[in-house]
Amino acid sequence: MDLEERITKALLSPSSKSIMLLGGPDTGKTAFAAIALDLLSEKGRAGVLDLDMGQSHIGPPSTIAWGVVEGGFKGWEKIKAEGLYFTGALSPPGNMLPSLTGAKLLMESTQAKCPKLIIDTTGLVTGPIGRLYKQYKIDLLRPDVVLAVQKNDELEHIISPYALMKSPVIIRLKPSALTKIKGIPVRAGFRAERFRAYFEGSRVFEVDMNKCGVRYTRDGGDEELEGRLLSFRDHTGSDICLGVIEKAALDKGLLTVRSPLKPGTEYACIIIGRATAVF
């Protein structure tokens, strides 16, 4: 059995309910995810969980999100965000707890509605932080299959401890020759465009911090807040919309926020992140 047949068999197996993509930057993880989604969604309803908060294709940057694909993959722009979780950051370092917590919560939501799930991850795989982050993500989400896309052996320090375990099934593969090297400027440009599209048509309004719950993804609010992202969370604990703080009058408990949140929308809490929105 060649590699392509092995991958196809693993994806279509009834026991493979969740498939995780691992790989560093510019290895084509997202392209492989699209191929897997195309295959699975032709057989039925397939879910996709996008855990790359810096290069998100489903939710806005700083969030992780999930969506549904049916009848074949037609492009990332066609996938509606069914649910999202605000991490408050654009990369995992220093923000692992929110990103891991959100991943677990969204995975539970996705699996309740989709028999098959593709999990796309960040490109953080190097050093102790990459190893720990990915290993604990595997432990927490418990994927049935891990597709490890590596140029050489850069993922072995992450996946080798699972070699003798029954789950997950580890399948190693090389990046596609068609994979394009994006680089930092291209990634930053993509993120800025995603922010511009998300905040297009936003309104500016005041948020009274005395009339809602206030949380921070990292610090306790003793730093400069202007320019930072926040999320509005509803009474069920779900993130419903992002905003950017334009002005903070903490002595009055007031924030001036730019956001596409519709007038009259109720929220129970705001979550203030570390990241800023760059347009």
Same domain, 176 and 212: no
Distance separating the N- and C-terminal Cα atoms of the chain: 48
CA dist., res. 71 & res. 69, Å (int): 7
Same domain, 207 and 227: yes
Same domain, 164 and 258: no
pLDDT at 145 over 80: yes
**Which strand ranges, in their side-by-side order, compose the sheet holding 228-233?**
203-208, 254-259, 239-249, 228-233, 269-276, 213-216
Q: Three-class SS of residue 263? A: coil
Last residue of a domain, one of 181, 204, 235: 181
Instruction: Read off φ and ψ for residue 47, nearest 5 degrees.
Output: -100, 155
Same domain, 162 and 224: no
Last residue of a domain, one of 133, 155, 181: 181
Q: How much is the CA Rg of the chain, to the nearest whole Å? A: 19
Same domain, 163 and 26: yes
**Per-residue pLDDT tens over the stretch 247-277:** 999 999 999 999 999 999 999 999 999 999 8
CA dist., res. 170 & res. 75, Å (int): 27
Name residue 147's beta-bridge partners.
21, 171
The mean per-residue pLDDT over the stretch 14-32 comes to 93
Q: By mean pLDDT, which of 32-36, 52-56, 172-176, 240-244 is the weakest? A: 172-176
Overall number of domains in the chain: 2
Same domain, 33 and 158: yes
Give the global pTM: 0.93
**Per-residue pLDDT tens over the stretch 146-170:** 999 999 999 999 999 999 999 999 9
For residue 253, give both structure tokens: 């408990």
Q: What is the pLDDT of residue 222?
A: 65
CA dist., res. 53 & res. 56, Å (int): 5
Q: Which domain holds residue 164?
A: 3-181
Confidence class for position 178, pLDDT limits 50, 70, 90: low
Same domain, 200 and 173: no
CA dist., res. 170 & res. 163, Å (int): 8
Same domain, 211 and 121: no
Tell me if 116 is assigned to some domain. yes
Same domain, 119 and 12: yes
Other C-beta atoms lying within 10 Å of the C-beta of residue 213: 11
Q: What is the pLDDT of residue 248?
A: 95
Same domain, 55 and 174: yes
The mean per-residue pLDDT over the stretch 102-116 comes to 95
H helices of the chain, in order, are 3-12, 29-41, 96-111, 127-141, 156-159, 183-199
Last residue of a domain, one of 128, 147, 181: 181
DSSP state of 165: S
Cα–Cα–Cα angle for 149, 64, 230, rounded to 5 degrees: 145
Instruction: Read off φ and ψ for residue 140, nearest 5 degrees.
Output: -75, -45
Same domain, 166 and 97: yes
